[in-house]
Amino acid sequence: MQKKRNVIYSNPVYAEGFYYFLQGDYDEKKISLYRYIPGKLLEKETELSTEEVSLYNLCIIGNPVHIISQEDTFVCYYPEKISFPITGHESALFIEDEKIYFESWVEEGWNDKNDCATDNYDLYYKVIVKDFSGNTLSEEVGDLYQAADGTWWIA
């Protein structure tokens, strides 16, 4: 791809034997998802208008690849439309087998009035698995990590 003013690229995601990345063209008002094999293939998978997506936290995750954004609402734009509310502490990390894996940080023992930690302060993370309707299927204390071979685990 040639360098062009007002065009940005996302971090790549490796899935199904391809590298995927988003290209945002602000002049054309388009977000394009590309599938790529170095030296062999560069193919546009889909294209969305910047008018139909929230650019805040727009990214690609999952296997197969999904285009999502998230703030107070989790929204999937591709390959299917999904939308449901999430808390400000939840962040989608992975989608597989029609399940969305979120990481959520939990803070306990914070004194809001004095804006400080109490003696019982604790900060930890949970992995929350939801279906495409936003129903919680499971919750587990821990962090979600990805190995170099692409497998995920909770620690």
Burial, 20: exposed, middle or buried (Cβ in 10 Å; 0-12, 13-18, 19+)? Answer: buried
When the pLDDT of each residue in the chain is averaged and rounded to a whole number, the result is 93
Q: What secondary structure does DSSP assign to the chain, as a single string?
A: ----TTEEEPPPEEETTEEEEEEEETTTTEEEEEEEETTTEEEEEEEEETTSS--TT-EEETTTTEEEEESSEEEEEESS-EEEE--TTEEEEEEETTEEEEEEEEEEEEETTTTEEEEEEEEEEEEEEE-TT--EEEEEES-EEE-TTS-EEE-
pLDDT band at 2 (very low <50, low <70, confident <90, very high): confident
Ramachandran angles phi, psi of 45, nearest 5°: -85, -45
pTM of the model: 0.88
Q: What is the pLDDT of residue 120?
A: 93
What residues contact residue 96 under an 8 Å CB cut-off, 6+ apart? Answer: 62, 63
Does residue 79 have a cis bond before it (omega within 30 degrees)?
yes
Task: Print burial letters for 107-137: b (CB count within 10 Å at least 16), e (below 16).
Answer: eeeeeeeeeeeeeeeeeebbbbbbebeeeee
The 10s digit of each residue's pLDDT in 92-140 is 999 999 999 999 999 999 999 999 999 999 999 999 999 999 999 999 9
